[in-house]
Each structure stands twice: as C-alpha cells, then as structure tokens.
Amino acid sequence: MSFVPLDHKAAGHDGTLQSADGSLFSKPTLQREIDFYNSVQTLAQQQPEDAQLGSSLIDWMPGYYGILTPGITNEVKQKVPAGQQIDGELTKKAEETVQKTGKEKQYVVLENVLHGFKKPSILDVKLGSVLYDETANEEKVERMKKVSAETTSGSLSFRICGMKISDDFNGKLPDDLGDLKISEVAKAEGGYITFDKFYGRRLTKETAKEGLEAFFKHNNLPPKVQTIIIDNFIKRLQLIYNCILDTEVRIIASSLLFVYENDLSRWEKLNYEEPLIHERLITEDGEDDDEVEIKIDDAPLSTLKFIDFAHAKHVPGKGYDEELAKGVENLLSIFESF
C-alpha cells in the first residue's frame, strides 16, 4: 500500500500522509502516543456490552491500526487491505529521518476521517489553557505560557489552530473581525479558503464567536443544512463533555477536529439525515480478522473527532481533565449562541 502527502488538513505537523486510496492516515508519532492509543483500546475492551455509544473515549478517536517504522511492523502488514503492498512515501520518510537524526521515526497509522467526503470543510480546535507537559524544557514552558496568555487558549481554554472551508464565493473571504484583516491570515486557492494558525491566535474572547461562525456559514449551503450541521455538533459536544467527566485522563494540546460535507448532493442523497456517531469508515472484515475492508459508502455527512495524543495519559483515581471540560463547555456556549 503506497502513501502520499495528505490531501486536506487544517493544521498539524509536516510529514502527514495518506494511503493512495485515501482510507488511512499516517503521521510521525511518539511512544507515549502509541501507548495511549493502546491503553484506550484495552479499556474499551473492558466496557460492558450495553455501554452507551459515545460514553467511551474510543468512540471519539480515529480508528487505530498500529505503527510503521522503516522496518514495517507485522501488525500493520496484517491489517492493510488484502492484495496491497506497503511501500513508497511512508517508508521513505521514516528512513530519511533515521539518516538525518540517527533515530528511527515511528508513524502511527489511523483511520482517515476525511475519507469519503467530496468537499470537506475542516476545523482544528486545540483544547486547554495549559499547552505543555512535565517533559517540556524551560524555554518551551515560557513560550507556551505566553501563547496561552495572549490567545483564547487562556481566556476560553480553546484556540482555533487551523481552518479550511469551501471557496463558494470566487475568492471572497469572510468579513474582517475588528482589527483582524482576514486577508492577512487566509487565502483562497484550489477551491478552498485556508486559514493559517495566526487566524486563531489573533481572535479574542470577543471575536471568537464570529471566528467560529465563519466555519459554518461562509458557504452556499442552504440555511437548513447549516442549522443541521450546527445542531449535530452541539449534540456531539454534549456527549463528549459527558465522556470527559467520566474519564480519568490528562490530555494536553489535543484537538477537536470538526468536519462537514460541503457538497449538497450528498446531503440530498441521504435525505439530510445522519447518526451523531457513525461506524468507522474502515471496519474489520468479518471473514478474516487480519484484513481491513474499506466501506466508502459509510462516509458521514459530518464528524467530530479527538486527535493528537502526544501528551496524553490515564490518571486513575485523579478525576477528569478540567482543562478539557472547560474548553468544551465554552465551545458549547458559543455554538448554542449561533
């Protein structure tokens, strides 16, 4: 199976890739992120069969399919679609890392949550006011404290890290927000308007609502569809909020990834209806547990996922993550005011 540069992303690090068919996503990772994915899967297996969908953290995370290194693990070899071979871009990038740094770089292989969307609009929102963990050096601690203090990370416990929306108005950007000139932080290209990280950094507590609202309303979708999208995300945020309250973790600098379909024909085809939590686009083949079946027809009309767990860990007995809860609570308040 070949890997190529990712088609769409709102934020994130360089080096992100997708499988040639678009079903899988891969990015550089750290051992602690791999450990967290594994521990979440272990805990999910211990859940009672009648556990409510959405009550477990795994319900909100992209499907996890193992790791890749220059040597390629057997775990991933067994889980790629039958008849495909692992080669190309992913292994090449990992080997280049070894040559440059002397360290073997691991890549986590995940479900590509954008797979099956025709015209996805994407929003990456980083949660929490604390943007560093106990492993950060003094320079990073001070730098991250400054970023938090000067942005909505500090005032609202969330910050837009990136945004990408359909260019439905021939390059016309959303209206300026006070002193924030949108042309300085966004550009129209290739059928999309892409907002860089400074868009979120320059939003304030007072302009955050308008900054988020542009994601949902600067398009040609009928108001009926815009309302459905917003209402569904409100319900998902409520479920995630309850999940956070019941989960003893500390997750620093993770994001919520909001995605919705900007192609009206798909909404019409599905009669504007979708479940709040859908089956993953990639599911285990019933005939062979070592293979993966790609189910493109199951692509949702919108989805919300927790992503980025490089600074995540379980903390049994220490209660829920107040920073995550505060960020989601503030997002909910804003969404409900649209």
Side-chain-side CA neighbours of residue 60 (13 Å): 27
The helix (H) or strand (E) run that includes residue 158 is: strand 158-166
Report helix, strand or coil for 223.
helix
CA atoms of 247 and 317, how far apart (whole Å): 10
Tokens of 153: 């990370």
| pLDDT of 101 | 44
β-strands 2-5, 87-88 pairing: parallel
Residues 6+ apart with CB under 8 A from 276: 54, 232, 235, 236, 239
| pLDDT of 131 | 94
Residues 6+ apart with CB under 8 A from 247: 56, 57, 320, 321
pLDDT tens string 138-157: 999 999 999 999 999 999 99
pTM across the whole model: 0.85
Averaged over 186-193, what is the pLDDT? Answer: 96
pLDDT band at 49 (very low <50, low <70, confident <90, very high): confident
**Strand ordering across the sheet containing 186-189:** 186-189, 192-195, 158-166, 120-127, 255-261, 302-307
Asked whether 156 and 125 are in contact (CB, 8 A), the reply is no
pLDDT tens string 271-298: 999 999 976 544 445 455 444 444 444 6
Residue 310 has φ and ψ, to the nearest 5°, of: -70, -20
Tokens of 147: 């970023």
| pLDDT of 87 | 47
| pLDDT of 130 | 94
CA 187 to chain centre: 22
Q: What is the per-residue DSSP string for 249-292?
A: EEE-S-EEEEEEE--HHHHHHTTT---SS---SEEE-SS-TTSE
The helix (H) or strand (E) run that includes residue 294 is: strand 292-294
pLDDT tens string 90-129: 555 545 544 444 456 788 999 888 888 999 999 999 999 9
CA 258 to chain centre: 7
Residues 6+ apart with CB under 8 A from 286: none
DSSP state of 193: E
Report all structural domains of the chain as residue ranges with CATH numbers, in order of start. Answer: 2-111 (no CATH), 120-335 (3.30.470.160)
Task: Inform me whether the pLDDT recorded for 79 exceeds 50.
Answer: yes
Averaged over 213-228, what is the pLDDT? Answer: 98
Among 82-96, 163-177, 297-311, where is mean pLDDT lowest? Answer: 82-96
